[in-house]
Copies of this chain bind each other. A is one copy, B any other.
Amino acid sequence: MPTTGVPRGTSARGQQRRQALLEAAAELIIEDGFSAVSHRGIAQRAELPLAATTYYFASLDDLLEQALRHLAASWLDQARSRLAQLPAHLNGQRRLAEAVLLVAIATPDGDERDAGQDGLALYERYLEAGRRPHLRTVVAAYNHEVDLMLREVLRRGGLPHDVRTARLLLAQVDGAMLRALAEGVDPVPVALAAVTDLVRLLSR
Binding site for B on A (CB under 8 A): 33, 35, 117, 119-120, 123-127, 129-131, 133, 136, 139-140, 143, 164-165, 167-168, 170-176, 178-179, 181-184, 193-194, 197-198, 201-202, 204
Contact = CB atoms under 8 A, between A and B. Distances in A.
15 contacts: A33-B131, A117-B130, A120-B127, A123-B127, A127-B182, A129-B183, A130-B178, A130-B181, A139-B183, A167-B194, A168-B194, A171-B174, A171-B179, A174-B178, A201-B204
Contacts of A176: 167, 171, 175
A59 to B, nearest CB: 17
A44 to B, nearest CB: 21
| Interface SS, A side | helix
B120 A131 contact: yes
Contacts of A139: 182-183
Contact of A125 (B117, B182, B184): B182
Contacts of A126: 123, 178-179, 181-182
A151 to B, nearest CB: 15
Contacts of A183: 129, 136, 139-140, 143
A178 B131 CA distance: 12
Given A168-B197, A175-B175, 6 more contacts: A120-B131, A123-B126, A130-B178, A140-B183, A168-B198, A201-B201
A89 to B, nearest CB: 23
